[in-house]
Amino acid sequence: LSSTNTNTTTATTGSSNTTLIPIFDVETTGTPTPTTFSGYAGSILSVNADATTIIVSCTVAACSIATPYTLIQGPSTFSMSQAVSSESLGVEVWMTITEECHITASTSAVCSNLARMKVSAYGEEQTTKTAYVVTATGTQIYADVLVVTGGIEKLNSPQATESAGAAA
């Protein structure tokens, strides 16, 4: 597994207005199936030696995410939090999904996941929360692909990182 799976600064350029970047992912219960995010596009918010921050938004009208969400990934970290909503036949579902991963040499990752869900139907509400930790190694770690349409110039000029004791 190459370091490009967790480091967006080695992007593949499609055209001058878009770039394809790898997005960290794990699959511990089946065969990994790398995909290209369909109906979504990213915008680079910031880049430094530790991580790249990307805002992911819908590009289609029928979109399940409630608002744009943030991905942060780098050689040793991945995190994301997104809100998803759906409504059908009078049943509304809202879900917030959060994932935080610590990556070691792009061959091992420990990911903490939290899913909160609220279901509302016919005047009743039910709320649940599920938390779990997964450890992924080897081929369980892979990359999906995201089309980036904004902030591409930041990939060529990453910012310096700040040390904890370096503030004036």
Number of domains observed in the structure of the chain: 1
114 part of a folded domain = yes
Q: How far apart are CA 147 and CA 41, in angstroms?
A: 5
Q: Is residue 65 part of a domain?
A: yes
Is 162 a domain residue?
no
Answer whether residue 71 is part of any domain.
yes
Checking DSSP bridges between strand 40-47 and strand 141-150, what pairing results, if any? Answer: parallel
Could you report the per-residue pLDDT of 13-56, keeping only the tens digit for each? 455 688 999 999 999 998 888 888 889 999 999 999 899 999 99
Residue 110's domain comprises 3-155
In-domain check, residue 145: yes
Residue 34 resides in a domain = yes
Question: Higher confidence at residue 106 or residue 100?
Answer: 100
Type of residue found at 128: T
Does residue 82 form part of some domain?
yes
